[in-house]
């Protein structure tokens, strides 16, 4: 096993243990570094809102590792979603109507939820190992810029989580947030961020 694979394996185990205890992690995703927790644990989600100093009515997205898991968190998946997932050539967050089985405060006022299917090595592995959806919100205090590099994450955020993943901390290539598309119950689509 090479050093990177060994680091990932240790990080996955430690991060998963923290998540199972209701803790918060700071972790790399398919886009920017995120603050994460169990998206089905109300107390953990409350802690994320408190750490970010974010009002509870502002929804947060979740990560899953496979399209097959969508049915567990969305009542009805519009057909267009499958086409969007198939053609996406960069990370894409889709906001679905009628979320279910998630902490209520993660949802939009209309009951929708943003879900991204991650294929990035670490976040995908963590979702598989944890077997639950992960909250993924930018690693910043609400209202401040989202950090494009681990080195830009504020100490207050680092100090507010229970575990910081070591993998990818030394990368120097700036990362970008995902595209966001909202699917509405009436079949219309809104492009929120390209």
The domain segmentation of the chain, as residue ranges, is 3-169+176-193
Question: What CATH architecture is 3-169+176-193?
Answer: Alpha-Beta Complex (3.90)
What is the tens place of the pLDDT at every residue in 18-30? 999 999 999 999 9
Mean pLDDT of the chain: 94
Which pair of structure tokens corresponds to residue 167?
Answer: 């993998």
Angle, helices 121-130 vs 3-20, to 10°: value is 40
Average pLDDT over residues 83-105: 95
User: Would you state the pLDDT for residue 1?
Assistant: 67
Please check the confidence at residue 156 and state whether its pLDDT lies above 70.
yes
Give me the residue label for tokens 């803790």.
23
User: Would you state the pLDDT for residue 25?
Assistant: 98
DSSP E strand stretches across the chain: 25-27, 34-36, 61-64, 92-96, 113-117, 134-138, 163-164, 179-183, 189-193
User: Would you state the pLDDT for residue 177?
Assistant: 87
Percent residues over pLDDT 90 in the chain: 87
What is the tens place of the pLDDT at every residue in 108-134? 999 999 999 999 999 999 999 999 999
pTM of full prediction above 0.85: yes
Please check the confidence at residue 56 and state whether its pLDDT lies above 80.
no
């Amino acid at each position: 096993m090479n050093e990177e694979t060994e680091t990932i394996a240790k990080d996955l185990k430690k991060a998963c243990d923290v998540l199972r205890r209701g803790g918060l992690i700071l972790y790399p995703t398919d886009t920017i570094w995120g603050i994460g927790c169990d998206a089905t644990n109300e107390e953990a989600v409350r802690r994320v809102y408190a750490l970010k100093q974010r009002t509870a009515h502002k929804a947060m997205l979740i990560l899953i590792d496979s399209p097959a898991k969508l049915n567990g968190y969305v009542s009805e998946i519009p057909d267009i979603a499958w086409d969007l997932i198939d053609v996406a050539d960069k990370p894409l967050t889709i906001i679905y109507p009628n979320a279910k089985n998630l902490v209520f405060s993660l949802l939009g006022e209309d009951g929708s939820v943003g879900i991204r299917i991650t294929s990035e090595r670490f976040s995908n592995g963590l979702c598989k190992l944890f077997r639950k959806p992960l909250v993924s919100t930018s690693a910043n205090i609400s209202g401040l810029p989202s950090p494009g590099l681990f080195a830009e994450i504020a100490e207050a955020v680092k100090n507010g989580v229970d575990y910081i993943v070591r993998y990818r901390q030394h990368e120097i290539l700036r990362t970008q947030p995902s595209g966001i598309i909202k699917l509405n119950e009436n079949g219309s689509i809104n492009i929120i961020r390209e």
